Amino acid sequence: MADETLKAVDPEIAALIQAEERRQADTVKLIASENYVSRAVLEATGSVLTNKYSEGYPGKRYYEGQQIIDQIETLAIERAKRLFNVAHANVQPYSGSPANLAIYLAFLNPGDTVLGMGLPFGGHLTHGWSVSATGKWFNAVRYGVRKDTGRIDMDQVRELALEHRPKLIFCGGTAIPRIIDFPAFAEIAREVGAVLAADIAHIAGLVAAGVHPSPVGHADVISTTTHKTLRGPRGAMLMTNSDEHAVAINKAVFPGLQGGPHNHTTAAIAVALHEAAQPEFKAYAEQIVKNAKALADELLSRGYDLVSGGTDNHLILIDLTNKGIGGKPAAQALDRAGLETNYNTVPFDPRKPFDPSGIRIGTPAVTSRGMREPEMRQIGAWIDEVITAVAKGDAEDVIARVRGEVTELTAKFPAPGISL
């Protein structure tokens, strides 16, 4: 809860924070990229470490007074190396997009060719999409998914790689519900002499727990955010097993793109990595996938069209075309019912990105609250009730009833890190 000091100094912000605490506690968070951090992570994030500038790396700083900060960053690095079984880790990137941009700076020159997954097919903006700096400063070539399966078209990936000879290939993305074939991407990258970057921002927690195959040993460099399934603060990491790549990455992060790291975030990353190394985290990650499969099965039984037909991980992408409603009005109605999702493009979407055909949902946050398969079936039923009612044009009574039922459910499963 908002600290008493904050209430005294800035009651408006304090009240808004309390309102957000209540909102997060009372709603079912189904956004695949969101989670709840522990109270320990929150405390590290809100610590006096925010007072300290630390340009450089442990043992090689440009400011004095780094005796404690060096120990904190070294702890975070060592914990990342152990958890992901890598030789090198950089924990300084401010977030996922700057981390990916550092990869470009480390290995490419402006105008060089990069091969990444197109945004409408599940890729990320920073994999070379046209509105991103990565699509403006580099020659971006994009692959997609097969229309018949909704899965990554590896034949297309290879054909494009052989035709365009990219210097960098990205695998991973932001709306991929299936296992990523890192060995297949690595084989293609070797064939054309490209650096392979695996963006595991969404699945890092699953990879750390052994629930999703690891890109280590296949990708030349790995980028990830530290929130999402890893349950840490809003930060990022870059990892590699190559000494040469590690030098290039470190130079790209600092001084290439950033000044001083956010030391309070670094400490919170270290805490999250420590938590992820505990046995209970593996059980948590396994339950994420079980919950996603249970929720997908419930939606399939109710006639929903799921991209790729289901999920292997934490994420489900729903094409609402056959339900006669767009993703945006569906997501907005679900939000009023206490079911928090995001509208999302689906592969080969005929609608515009700001008014797409689909919604994206995920199970990391509800799993953090302790919900299991029975709750997933109930959530699937609620989603269907609301969307069906909205499509018929008479939804407010249904939304109000579901909102009350959601509040009853969330009261039984307290949100981690939030004390009301």
The rounded distance, in Å, linking the Cα atoms of 297 and 2 is 39
Model confidence over 24-81: pLDDT tens digits?
A: 999 999 999 999 999 999 999 999 999 999 999 999 999 999 999 999 999 999 999 9
Q: How much is the pLDDT for 363?
A: 98
372 as an active site residue: the answer is no
- Residue 311, SS3? coil
Cα distances (angstroms) measured from residue 299 to each of 293, 361, 378, 406: 10, 12, 10, 18
101 annotated to bind ligand:
no
Task: For 77, list phi and psi in degrees, rounded to 5.
Answer: -60, -50
Q: How much is the pLDDT for 2?
A: 57
| pTM for the model | 0.96
The answer to whether the CB of 367 falls within 8 A of the CB of 291 is yes
Task: Dig out the tokens for 415 from the structure.
Answer: 């949100």
Residue spans of the domains in the chain: they are: 43-276, 288-412
53 as an active site residue: the answer is yes
Active-site choice (52, 158, 165, 234): 234
Residue 212, phi-psi category: left (phi > 0), alpha (psi -120 to 50), beta (remainder): beta
- Supply the CATH classification number for the domain 43-276: 3.40.640.10
124 annotated to bind ligand:
yes
Active-site choice (228, 231, 328, 369): 228
Tell me which residues of the chain have a pLDDT lower than 70: 1-2
Task: Dig out the tokens for 373 from the structure.
Answer: 């398969």
The rounded distance, in Å, linking the Cα atoms of 190 and 168 is 11
49 annotated to bind ligand:
no
302 as an active site residue: the answer is no
Q: How much is the pLDDT for 52?
A: 98
315 annotated to bind ligand:
no
CA dihedral for 83, 89, 95, 96, sign (positive or negative): negative
126 as an active site residue: the answer is no
The answer to whether the CB of 395 falls within 8 A of the CB of 334 is no
Active-site choice (45, 113, 126, 225): 225
Active-site choice (113, 126, 199, 231): 199
199 as an active site residue: the answer is yes
Query: Which residues pair with residue 198 across a beta bridge?
Result: 171, 222
Active-site choice (21, 52, 53, 112): 53
Listed residue (18, 130, 5, 25) closest to 410, CA to CA: 25
Residues 6+ apart with CB under 8 A from 415: 24, 25, 36, 368, 369
- Supply the CATH classification number for the domain 288-412: 3.90.1150.10
Give yes or no on whether 43-276 and 288-412 have one common fold: no
191 annotated to bind ligand:
no
Cα distances (angstroms) measured from residue 378 to each of 73, 259, 409: 43, 47, 10
